[in-house]
Amino acid sequence: MLDIQKIRADFPILSEKVNGKPLVYFDNGATSQKPQIVIDAIATYYQEINANIHRGVHTLSQLATDAYEISRVKIQHHINAKFSHEVLFTSGTTHGINLVTNGFASILKPGDEVVVSSLEHHSNIVPWQMLCEKTGATLKVIPMNENGELIMEAFDALLSEKTKVVTVNHISNALGIINPIKYIIEKAHAVGAAVLIDGAQAVPHLKPDVQDLDCDFYAFSGHKMCGPTGTGILYGKEEWLNKLPPYQGGGEMIKEVTFEKTTYADLPHKFEAGTPNIAGGIVLGTAVDYLNNIGFENIQKQEEALLEHATKRLLEIEGLKIYGTGKNKASVVSFNIDGIHPYDIGSIIDKLGIAVRTGHHCAQPIMNFFCIPGTIRASFSFYNTIEEIDVMVEAVKKAKTMLS
Ligand code: C6P
């Protein structure tokens, strides 16, 4: 088992007080906290090797370039991509998804179909809607059941030769449900569709193997996995990245520019126009190392224990309902209490030092399905403790009494 107190000591913010109370940070789904090693690595980059990359012959530029490319290879191995040029640095999941939808604008035709799921974050709905508006393609939605699970029979029925893209999240941010993506990818490929997986909520909890999954694209954010904000990765299969046009034009993504014609750089640079978040990209590698040193098996064991305890303790509260009761779940509990607005609970427990997210979690279709304005979402990380969950449960009970 992990020595949680030792791990907590890696995260300076976890010993802060908020509103005079010890911080209980249960908003890991929004962004994770950062270990000292990640915070230090940002300063070290700027203190020791700050320079623009891929441009200069001078020593600092080469050091920075090497560090950036070493990080890319580290992430390639982490997700088991076949080539490092299939790993594109982005500013986050949203950027990665938009890069792909922009590319598909020159591929889709009227009558084509894009399949999304009813469990998606707005980042994996709106760009596809915009794409469909632009191309005349039609958006189809995989429905969900009362447990928050996607209905696979309905998915099967949606697929046809018209389906050109299927996209789902690996783990739902609002409910924590883990989707059967291997099945979805296999079925989508059987009709010739490309598959994008939104891995934003998966990468803090597990190590995706993109070759085993056989997905065509896998997008995620660095800031949810102990890395800096403004960092992310889009994995794309080489053949797809070669097929898609560049997303942004500018420096670094070209081979040759004349006023008559521009030719584009090879992968991955074709999709990395302009000066990137160099420090961020390098330090994302540091975060990946940190998580691998802890070990994803250990992370999962701790998070399973947290989920089980939180579910059991919260259900002791009369009138409390948990949304997302499917079997395969990550360490997220989304709940409401009868007759009380989630925002009111969230505000009261914040005064007690507890950070949870309240609202629609950028997943309004899920809230519409359950006919609710939003939920209270407690999302746990490996550095959280059973004791912290008990503190939250007592705080929720107190808030309930105050608001009833
Ligand atoms: N969800 C949450 O509190 P960005 O903002 O680009 O890093 O990630 C967007 C995104 C995409 N897909 C999923 C499944 C997500 O959960 C998120 C971010 C945060 O749930 C902030 S809204």
pLDDT in tens, 348-381: 999 999 999 999 999 999 999 999 999 999 999 9
- Catalytic pick among 215, 226, 362, 371: 362
pTM for this structure?
Answer: 0.98
The yes-or-no verdict on residue 301 having pLDDT over 90 is: yes
Segments of the chain assigned to CATH 3.40.640.10: 39-292
Residue 231 in contact with ligand 1 by CB distance below 6 A: no
Residue span(s) of the chain under CATH 3.90.1150.10 come to 4-30+295-403
Confidence at 55, pLDDT banded by 50, 70, 90:
confident
DSSP element (H, E) containing 38: helix 36-44
The proportion of the chain whose per-residue pLDDT surpasses 70, expressed as a percent, equals 100
Residue 309 has pLDDT above 90, yes or no: yes
Which residue owns the Cα nearest ligand 1 atom 2?
30
Beta bridge mates, 335: 322, 376
Structural contact between residues 142 and 154, judged by C-beta atoms closer than 8 angstroms? yes
Q: What is the phi-psi region of residue 140: left when phi exceeds 0, alpha when psi lies from -120 to 50, beta otherwise?
A: beta
Q: What is the pLDDT of residue 238?
A: 98
Residue 208 contacts residue 79 (beta carbons within 8 Å): yes
Q: Which CATH fold topology does 4-30+295-403 show? A: Aspartate Aminotransferase, domain 1 (3.90.1150)
What pLDDT shows up at residue 296? 98
Q: Is the CB of 198 under 6 A from ligand 1?
A: yes
Q: Does 362 participate in catalysis according to the annotation? A: yes
pLDDT, position 16: 98
**Does the Cβ of 29 fall within 6 Å of ligand 1?**
yes
For residue 86 and ligand 1, the question of a CB distance below 6 A is answered with: no
Residue nearest to atom 19 of ligand 1 (CA): 30
Whether 275 shows a pLDDT value over 90: the answer reads: yes
Give the model's pLDDT for residue 1: 78
Residue 56 has pLDDT above 90, yes or no: no
**Fold of the domain spanning 39-292:** Aspartate Aminotransferase; domain 2 (3.40.640)
- Per-residue pLDDT at 52 exceeds 90: yes
CB-CB contact of 278 with 68 (8 Å): yes
